[in-house]
Structure 1
Amino acid sequence: MKADDRLNRKNHGRRSHRADSEVPDVDIYDLTLPDEACFEPVLLSAVALPARLDYDSILAQPFSFEAHEDIGAWLAAILADSPTASRLWVEAERAGWQVGFADLKNSGSLIDIPSQTVLLDTYALSASALGRSPYFRNELLICFVRALRDIWHEQRYQALEDEFMPESLLMIERVRSADCDTAALLVGWELRGAGYTDVWRHLIGAEEGDMALVFTRFLERDPSALFDGSALAYAFRQWYADESRVDGCDHDTLEAMDDILLSYDGKVRPFGERRASVADIEALTTLPDGRCYLRGLAETILRDPFFAGLHDPVNQTHLFHLMYDMEVVMVNNVPFRDARLARLIFPGADHSRVR
């Protein structure tokens, strides 16, 4: 991959696992989020549906957006026509999640896990301008679907870093990210069947358009592939075919690991010790209706270098340094590879081994 290509990382959302105050002795400057959201987050259960829910009314609704509350109502109305999105919405609603809107500088969405809030990017547009733009309103819709799927995972698996070792955590986060894009693809196809063809056209022209094309081409040859999950499996595989998607996901995961290591207190291990298993992969790729579209293929995901390899040299170096930092003994903020040498230089001091 060219150096300039590597900088164009594809990333549609971020997750915040902890409050900034949990990082000791570090000044945090948030250069992405404004001081306040444009629209105060509200519970998903409190999103008011429009008075009319017929097809024509939902199509016309974006052209009458006056406030960000109207965007939330439109999202609720249109996603009700997708069985998959409806189940994801209900799951997040029962767990007490909120949705809000803010200018996230083209980040797509931000999932604040401690406050159970999803912030959607307004792309610096007013509600009325957002409604009149087919591209931005459909992009917001797809980002929200990805966020709902990510919330689905979060409700079931929560802090994966406490369970998996770093190498497996990289793999799990790849599967999670690929599954969120695959779930968004499925919702877009369901909305296409409900008459909202502009959503599907948006997906074809988006960065995940290669996944959408593989999905439709496979369905053309075998229409039943939608029901047994094989079409989704092919779309999932295509996610890994784009190196910038994989490298971008790895980069974000490694940055999150750095934050975890930075907040390490020396009392408990910063990461788990379990390796990813077939059951873990299948659990992450199980749809809300109970179907697992990677059933029987999870072993390949774990073993095949196409899925499990770490090819980006910068990410390789990042992981190497992360593993190196985890093996040291910290004494008075000085790292030692040899515990005996640390005791000789600092006798009686508190020795904390990271791993």
Structure 2
Amino acid sequence: MTAGVSSSPRIAFPLSVFLQHDAQDAALPAGMGLQAKIFADAVQQVCSFLLHAPSGRALLRAAVLRGVHIGLDPLLEPQTSFYYPLQKRLDIGYQPSSLLSSQKGISLYLASIIGGLRRIWQHSRALTPDTRLKPEDFLRYCRAFEADVCAITHLAAWELRAAGPCFFWRHLLAAADGDVSVSFARTAAAHPRHQFDGTALRAAFLEWFEVAERVDACDHLALEMMDMALLGARGAAQDIGRMKLDTARLCQLGVMPQGGNYLGGMRFRAPQMRRGCDPFNRTHLKHIERDICYLSENQESF
């Protein structure tokens, strides 16, 4: 079934058509296929839930204002998403139609779309990971970037839980990042204001760094990004891996579209945030540092 989806034309719709259910049928193409109709119905259902979460609603509307489209990519996992800035398209993964109407299927798409919307928000503020950073600083920034996405996803799930639908929160609680859910819930329960003043968000952000496997996976992807940037720099003068990270840039990751900054004033010196790479990633990092050094000394022959 996946093969059938991949051979069909690209399925993508303007995100704006899913904000008003009454206008959806008129806004979507009349001759779209069955798979496109199933996908559109699934996205409509996810967006209807997301509108009940203040943070999710703010991210959704911010993306709509930027003319973002949402598309289906059968090569992606259901819980992941990928944003193409030039096309202004957010792709999410394929799910069988039998799973789309279930709470599990909706939860997978909620996680992927919220994460994608947060990345779009950061991209609009020029805060996506920048390969001009020194390799170690680039890893540090990518970790903080992913921790922010995870924290915001849990905030939206908590808001949905407060609004009524609690299945998404249960999904996160039972998933690989369940420790982040526990940390958020424990902090939010300690005092009523903690779920509104960013304290619970900050706790979830810091908890992300506690699991070594999570950090190592992020490092691996970040190093792959550096490798791709270096491949594109062959024969051309580039500033890859030479810029120092400013802590203020890390703090800006915490800005919310509805206002406030839950990372404001953080110094990013907690022990769990200074965790080193695992042996494999450390070796990869050393190779990249040598390549950058060689590129700097031999711009034309690299």
TM-score w.r.t. the length of structure 1 is 0.74
Aligned Cα RMSD in Å?
A: 2.6
Distance 2:234 2:265 in 1: 41
Q: CA deviation at 1:310?
A: 2.1
Partner of 1:342: none
Between 35-44 and 288-297, the greater mean CA deviation after superposition: 35-44
Between 310-319 and 321-330, the greater mean CA deviation after superposition: 321-330
Q: CA deviation at 1:294?
A: 2.0
Match among 29, 32, 42 for residue 13 of structure 2: 42
8 Å Cα contact 1:177/1:249 also seen in 2:
yes
Q: CA deviation at 1:35?
A: 4.2
The structure with the largest alpha-carbon Rg is: 1
Q: CA deviation at 1:209?
A: 1.1
- Cα distance change of structure 1 residues 263 and 163 upon mapping to structure 2, 3 Å threshold: closer
Partner of 1:325: 291
Partner of 1:6: none
Q: CA deviation at 1:157?
A: 1.3
Match among 82, 100, 103 for residue 53 of structure 2: 82
Give 5+ residue unaligned stretches, structure 2. Answer: 24-35
Distance 1:326 1:193 in 2: 49
Alpha-carbon displacement from aligned partner over 1:167-202 (angstroms, at most 9, x marks no partner): 211111111100001000010111111111111111
| Structure that is richer in helix per residue | 2
Q: CA deviation at 1:213?
A: 0.7
Distance 1:277 1:206 in 2: 33
Partner of 1:306: 272
- Cα distance change of structure 1 residues 122 and 267 upon mapping to structure 2, 3 Å threshold: closer
Partner of 1:135: 104
Alpha-carbon displacement from aligned partner over 1:83-120 (angstroms, at most 9, x marks no partner): 11111111111212110123235262222233221111
SS of aligned partner of 2:196: helix
Give 5+ residue unaligned stretches, structure 1. Answer: 1-31, 53-64, 331-336, 340-350
Alpha-carbon displacement from aligned partner over 1:228-271 (angstroms, at most 9, x marks no partner): 21111111111001111111111001001101101114332241
- Cα distance change of structure 1 residues 67 and 305 upon mapping to structure 2, 3 Å threshold: same
* 2:190 counterpart of 1:196: no
Distance 1:329 1:191 in 2: 49
8 Å Cα contact 2:71/2:91 also seen in 1:
yes
* 2:174 counterpart of 1:205: yes
Aligned residues: 287
Q: CA deviation at 1:48?
A: 6.1
Q: How does 1:146-161 map to 2 (within 5 A)?
A: 146-157=115-126, 160-161=129-130
Q: How does 1:219-298 map to 2 (within 5 A)?
A: 219-271=188-240, 273-297=242-266
Task: In structure 1, give the amino acid aligned to 2:107.
Answer: N
TM-score w.r.t. the length of structure 2 is 0.86
Q: CA deviation at 1:69?
A: 1.1
Q: How does 1:62-211 map to 2 (within 5 A)?
A: 67-106=38-77, 108-123=80-95, 125-126=96-97, 129-157=98-126, 160-161=129-130, 163-211=132-180
Task: In structure 2, give the amino acid aligned to 1:89.
Answer: L
8 Å Cα contact 1:49/1:73 also seen in 2:
no
- Matched residues, percent identical? 29
